[in-house]
Amino acid sequence: MPRCMLDTDQLSALDGSFELLATYSDLVADAAELERQYPHSKLVYIDRGLGDPDNKASIGDFETGALRIADVPEWLDAKERQKVNFRTCYSDRNNVQAITEAAGKRSFWRWVATLDGTLQIIGFRALHAPAAVQILPSKKVGTHADFSLVLEPSWHPTRAIYPRTALQRDLNKALSSISDGVSDLHRMAGLI
């Protein structure tokens, strides 16, 4: 069953009613304290090339203005040496192939941004992969956070199964703030 994730570059926009929360590691002065503030959520950290003070980032942001695609091999190798689990490359859908080529034979997860409600990524099995798809921008979510559906249950697994009612509530919340391009979300909500 898909899970919901919010990601933001403003710590005040994190919302503990979501099972997964993501933010940039360079913004977090005390990861343990931040995690205590959200006891029912799992926090995942993103490295955008501005520092990862606690080596907690499992996601590399390979978008324009962040890490470069040429950095993919070095970043994945460094995270493997640091024994960071769930090494993930985040990018828009246009850079998926370039990241795959840059990674070579290295194993990693993918988090792909569409930000237009599209869930299906060419080259991936619909409703199962990639690990996560960022489908809604903050303007459509109604808060300073983007919204993703996590399709892969073994990517950053959580201790408890997210209650169906909570997932339905989160999907309905996202749907209510959208006026266009919601056919993929309606299909997902109908699966619950």
**Residue 139 to residue 90: CA distance in whole angstroms:** 20
What's the pLDDT score for residue 66?
Answer: 94
pLDDT tens-digit profile, the chain (192 residues)? 899 999 999 999 999 999 999 999 999 999 999 999 999 999 999 999 999 988 999 999 999 889 999 999 999 999 999 999 999 999 999 999 999 999 999 999 999 999 999 999 999 999 999 999 999 999 999 999 999 999 999 999 986 545 556 667 777 776 666 644 556 666 667 777
What residues make up the domain containing 54? 3-190
Question: What is the pairing mode between strands 109-113 and 88-92?
Answer: parallel
What's the pLDDT score for residue 80?
Answer: 97
Total domains in the fold of the chain: 1
**Residue 71 to residue 26: CA distance in whole angstroms:** 18
CATH of the domain at 100: 3.20.20.80
What's the pLDDT score for residue 135?
Answer: 97
**CA proximity to 175, closest of 161, 166, 186:** 186
pTM for the model stands at 0.82
What's the pLDDT score for residue 164?
Answer: 59
Q: What is the DSSP letter of 63?
A: S
Asked whether the beta carbons of 55 and 76 are under 8 A apart, the reply is no
What's the pLDDT score for residue 63?
Answer: 92
Q: What are the beta bridge partners of residue 59?
A: 46, 88
Structure tokens at 98: 């370039």
Question: What is the pairing mode between strands 88-92 and 42-47?
Answer: unpaired
Distance linking the first and last C-alpha atoms of the chain: 8
What's the pLDDT score for residue 180?
Answer: 46
Sign of CA dihedral 172, 139, 150, 44: negative
What's the pLDDT score for residue 72?
Answer: 98
What's the pLDDT score for residue 172?
Answer: 72
Q: What are the beta bridge partners of residue 107?
A: none
